[in-house]
Amino acid sequence: LRLPAFVSKTRSEVSPMIEPARSAHRFRAVRSRSVALCRPLALEDYSCQPMPDASPPKWHLAHTTWFVEKTFLALFEASTPATDPTYDYLFNSYYESQGARVARHLRGTLSRPTVAEVLAYRQHVDERVQQVIERGLSSEALAALELTLQHEQQHQELLLTDTKYLLGTQPLRPAYDADDAELAAEHRPLEASVGDWLDVAEGLRELGFRGDGDGFAFDNERPAHRVWLRDFSIRKSLVTNQEYQAFLDDGGYQRPDLWHAEAWAVIEQEKRTKPLYWTDEGTHYTLRGVSPRPPHAPVTHISYHEAHAFCSWAGFRLPTEAEWEVAAPSLAWGQRWEWTASAYAPYPGFRPFAGVAAEYNGKFMVSQQVLRGASFATPAGHERLTYRNFFPPTACWQYSGIRPARAFA
């Protein structure tokens, strides 16, 4: 089995809410992809946690299954068998309403259940879901099912980024899959010229997801609302490896004036001198192994702190998420998450999902920065113009890059 394409052809399509007839097929397709993504791994990789933020692949496989139990089966299965209480403890990520759980940084201490047991757990849950689907789904059930799949797709991206971190920080630096041709896209150079900018005129714009019943969006993308934007310019291309190298060569990691105070404290304490995965020899680690850094490819695996410091150095700034969303239809986007200058906060009139999923987004709306766009690792069809990704400003193991903005010239 080959991986499905990571990037869809046309970014303009919004993934439509699936019709009942297609549910079973879509459920199987999405769920099976998680397992497929793990296929290049050694069994030893599945349970390993290289840092607190990166979960073991096995844990992703189990947690997403547990999520299906809690947010779909618990509500729509006629007679739900009790979940194994140990699984509740093991595979709850952060849902306080679902009780105690293994501390996040200890997920790598769980050798059991085994991978085979987790795969059996997946299969058992999937069969139960398909029985429910066969009996027919109310629109409510259909929406709940879709949430489990969107959730699964988010974890598929994390599966790849966590796996890249796991393998890329092994002293032996093994490839994820050295032969997979599609992985070459991971660091594909840009087509746009770094000199091209888009000018956007001042005015009142609309932000957020406008769909009603049609199409899925997370609670954090709603409601649509107006914002006033000053005129601004945004670059058509992302910052390249070559540009970022110039920042390094100019002493970027030795100049505190370019960094936020808390960023500089990290630089000093962790003795950071370059992006994650960069080596001193002009190479970097990719899913196909260590390879030369293409100078014209977008710099990737950049933290918000790094993105800000680079912009300070270059005389640019990061766009706000409103600027990004307004400009994006005129830009090529989708192979890197793009850090924005916006802290993650509720839109005016924000209402969280109901039930278990109330904890999905709202409780993280502090101390995080928004990323927009999509990445090489985002499942096809999961990306969306209004999508709000978010990570702490130190996070650098995602496929995150830099798109410069500046005042209207």
Scan residues 188-217 and list those touching a copy of itself (CB under 8 A). Answer: 204
Q: Which stretch binds a copy of itself (CB under 8 A): 48-56, 242-250, 329-337, 381-389?
A: 48-56
Strands (E) across 308-359 are located at: 337-343
CA distance 177 to 409: 45
Measured from the CB atom, is 190 or 307 closer to a copy of itself? 307
With b meaning 16 or more CB within 10 Å and e meaning fewer, what string describes 105-141?
eebbebeebebeebbebbeebbebbeebbeeebeeeb
CA distance 165 to 188: 19
Among 226, 251, 282, 330, binds a copy of itself (CB under 8 A): 226
Asked if residue 89 binds a copy of itself (CB under 8 A), the reply is yes
**Tokens 């607190």 identify what position?**
52
CA distance 305 to 253: 11
Which tokens sit at 152? 């699964």
Measured from the CB atom, is 174 or 211 closer to a copy of itself? 174
What φ, ψ does residue 407 adopt, rounded to 5°? -65, 150
Which of 76, 68, 84, 82 has its CA nearest to residue 125? 68
Scan residues 325-344 and list those touching a copy of itself (CB under 8 A). Answer: 341-343
Among 14, 36, 198, 365, binds a copy of itself (CB under 8 A): 365
Scan residues 113-172 and list those touching a copy of itself (CB under 8 A). Answer: 113-115, 166-167, 169-172
Measured from the CB atom, is 80 or 170 closer to a copy of itself? 170
Question: With contacts defined by CB under 8 A, how many residues of the chain interact with a copy of itself?
Answer: 69
Task: Please give the residue ranges that form the binding site for a copy of itself (CB under 8 A).
Answer: 42-51, 58, 86, 89-90, 94, 96-97, 102, 108-115, 166-167, 169-172, 174, 204, 225-228, 230, 232, 256-257, 259-264, 304-305, 308, 317, 341-343, 345-346, 348-349, 358-359, 363-367, 369, 393, 407
